[in-house]
Homo-oligomer: A and B are copies of this chain.
Amino acid sequence: MNQWKNLNELTSYQKLGQNGRVDLTCAMAGEEGTVRVKKYNAPMAAGMTYYYAAKQVDDAILKDLCALAEEAQLASKFEELYNGAVINTGEKRLVLHHLTRGQLGGAVNADGTDKRAFYTEQQRKIAAFAKKVHDGEIVNEKGEAFTTVVQIGIGGSDLGPRAMYLALENWAKKNGCFKMEAKFISNVDPDDAAGVLGTIDPSRTIFILVSKSGTTLETLTNESFVKEALKNAGLDASKHMIAVTSETSPLAGNSDYLAAFFMDDFIGGRFSSTSSVGGAVLSLAFGPEVFDRFLRGAAEEDKLAAGKDPMTNAAMLDALIGVYERNVLGYPATAVLPYSQALSRFPAHLQQMDMESNGKSVNRRGEAVDYPTGPIIFGEPGTNGQHSFYQLLHQGTDIIPLQFIGFNENQAGMDVTIQGSTSQQKLSANVAAQIMAFACGKQDENRNKHFAGNRPSSIIIGKQLTPEALGALLSHFENKVMFQGFLWNLNSFDQEGVQLGKILAKRVLAHETDGALNTFSELLGI
């Protein structure tokens, strides 16, 4: 039976803080640095590796982190989760996103069905639908093929699927599996929908309406916006729209939609990229085989995350080091820096996944905790970030731990050699150089050119950003966030912090406000 204790109730956490601090300017210099890189790494799926040599850890600290993992029962809590316990204590729900891509434990039954069977059935139905669209069996009113797919959704129905689509778009074009262009409408700002509609041919477009409850106001509003545009173009909306929703929602079994695919309450929006929420758009865009490869990568990585030893469990180790940085070293944020343009929106997805899961001040029992929890997450792809906010990362007054991601090969297979190196070599040289610049710094008598160093980073290195590698990356971060939630004793799977704004916005729209809220509303012209 797992014990759910606060972080600062754990003996191993108290001990952890008593270790001496690691100074990376020494530890990463010369031969010792080489030894660390060769020693401090953990395998990941799809041939990737997690390197943490440039983190402020050593053998003693790692030993204490392993003891912390043991005392916090990270492995057996994950086991409890994937075997179908009610881990989402606030909403009293199971947490089943891992089941969309594999089965780590026993059968999980809920709502009177085997949930693994339910998720794979949805995938099968999506695959069959996508095939029919690609093969010209499902066409528009004029018998023309669909060329574009537009996802209408917000939050987890937008960020994850959008980041995954962008991550594989060029790979799919290169590898002959690019079937349809995808676009996304999310914001209730009418300029978002208007902007997207201005760049597509609606007569050749399938729209995917994604809302678990079928009641998300932004999404229903954008649906109406799109339906109005289809009507104005003389098109029958019901021949252009499909739904991804729960079986009990008003969108299910509704003749307004060509088809409906299902999700359920056991998968939170920010963990839904491997469910129908990501499945419909990615299968339509790249074909179901590519989506299946993406799931396989995630499933492989999940298996590694189920391991008990943190030293061979990259997600668990990453989580432990992150808690050491946040709670012992006191760093406020983590920057996510993929050296891959295809991952341009991956940091925005992680920002939701992490900050919405662990940006909380009460534990699973609803008691206030007295230690910092989830950090700020932000990031942009390198090398772009180097020409932007890296100045502060190198020489600012706060230390911000960094999470790099890099690949040996690009996706498009096009490259040029300038000044003796290819673009890919320049890209990779930059990420290697940054890790060392942050760790070791550089002494300079001119203090303006002085780099203090000792700024920690890790890097995940893979061969190429394939569907499998993307699935593994996604799983890594999902499981990292889950393990950190366990360590902080949070419920990482609800989001009560977004409710108050919704309630007040409804009051504004109903003109039920007074005081400053009323004044602001008037200023904003409502």
By the criterion CB–CB under 8 Å, are A356 and B429 in contact?
no
By the criterion CB–CB under 8 Å, are B173 and A198 in contact?
yes
With A30-B515, A526-B428 in contact, do A191 and B411 touch (Cβ < 8 Å)? yes
Number of interface residues of A (CB under 8 A): 159
What per-residue 1/0 map shows which CB atoms of A216-248 lie under 8 Å from chain B?
011011101100100000000000000000000
Contacting residues, chain B, for A356 (C-beta < 8 A): 388-392
By the criterion CB–CB under 8 Å, are A526 and B425 in contact?
yes
CA distance A36 to B517 in the complex (A): 11
Assess whether A110 is interfacial by the CB under 8 Å rule: no
Partner-binding segment picked from A120-128, A310-318, A334-342, A476-484: A334-342
The answer, among B190, B359, B437, B441, for a CB contact under 8 Å with A389, is B359
Contacting residues, chain B, for A459 (C-beta < 8 A): 520
Contacting residues, chain B, for A362 (C-beta < 8 A): 395, 447-448, 450
The answer, among B51, B348, B509, for a CB contact under 8 Å with A429, is B509
Residue in A90, A173, A191, A435 whose Cβ sees the most chain B Cβ within 10 Å? A191
By the criterion CB–CB under 8 Å, are B376 and A392 in contact?
yes
Considering the complex, which residues of chain A in the window 171-191 have a beta carbon less than 8 Å from any beta carbon of chain B? 173, 186-191
By the criterion CB–CB under 8 Å, are B449 and A384 in contact?
no
Give the shortest distance, in Å, between A3 (CB) and chain B (any CB). 20
The answer, among B192, B222, B386, B412, for a CB contact under 8 Å with A194, is B412
Partner-binding segment picked from A66-74, A136-144, A153-161: A153-161
By the criterion CB–CB under 8 Å, are A342 and B191 in contact?
yes
Give the shortest distance, in Å, between A233 (CB) and chain B (any CB). 13
By the criterion CB–CB under 8 Å, are A496 and B395 in contact?
yes
Considering the complex, which residues of chain A in the window 337-368 have a beta carbon less than 8 Å from any beta carbon of chain B? 339-342, 348, 351-352, 355-362, 366-368
CA distance A410 to B414 in the complex (A): 40
Give the shortest distance, in Å, between A177 (CB) and chain B (any CB). 15
With A34-B518, A408-B525, A449-B496 in contact, do A509 and B395 touch (Cβ < 8 Å)? no
CA distance A159 to B380 in the complex (A): 11
By the criterion CB–CB under 8 Å, are B505 and A156 in contact?
no
By the criterion CB–CB under 8 Å, are B383 and A187 in contact?
yes
Considering the complex, which residues of chain A in the window 391-422 have a beta carbon less than 8 Å from any beta carbon of chain B? 391-398, 400, 406, 408-412, 414-416, 418-422
The answer, among B186, B428, B524, for a CB contact under 8 Å with A431, is B524
What per-residue 1/0 map shows which CB atoms of A19-48 lie under 8 Å from chain B?
000000000111101101110000000000
Contacting residues, chain B, for A360 (C-beta < 8 A): 391-392, 395-397
The answer, among B390, B391, B414, for a CB contact under 8 Å with A190, is B414
CA distance A233 to B358 in the complex (A): 51
CA distance A156 to B357 in the complex (A): 34
Taking CB as reference atom, which chain B residue is nearest A166?
A: B195
Taking CB as reference atom, which chain B residue is nearest A357?
A: B391
Assess whether A63 is interfacial by the CB under 8 Å rule: no
Contacting residues, chain B, for A450 (C-beta < 8 A): 362
With A372-B398, A388-B351, A397-B371 in contact, do A34 and B190 touch (Cβ < 8 Å)? no
By the criterion CB–CB under 8 Å, are A155 and B388 in contact?
yes
Residue in A387, A430, A514 whose Cβ sees the most chain B Cβ within 10 Å? A387
Residue in A410, A452, A496 whose Cβ sees the most chain B Cβ within 10 Å? A496
Contacting residues, chain B, for A406 (C-beta < 8 A): 524
By the criterion CB–CB under 8 Å, are B521 and A432 in contact?
yes
By the criterion CB–CB under 8 Å, are B425 and A391 in contact?
no
Assess whether A14 is interfacial by the CB under 8 Å rule: no
Contacting residues, chain B, for A193 (C-beta < 8 A): 414, 423
By the criterion CB–CB under 8 Å, are B414 and A504 in contact?
no
Taking CB as reference atom, which chain B residue is nearest A408?
A: B525
CA distance A184 to B498 in the complex (A): 35
The answer, among B332, B433, B520, for a CB contact under 8 Å with A508, is B433
Q: List 5 A-B contacts (CB under 8 A).
A: A33-B516, A170-B191, A391-B497, A428-B521, A449-B499
User: Which 10 A-B residue pairs are closest in the complex by CB-CB distance?
Assistant: A359-B392, A155-B387, A33-B516, A433-B504, A194-B412, A359-B396, A352-B388, A395-B497, A394-B497, A428-B524
Q: Besides the contacts A34-B516, A218-B383, what 7 more A-B pairs have beta carbons closer than 8 Å?
A: A188-B383, A191-B340, A221-B416, A355-B389, A374-B392, A394-B498, A461-B523
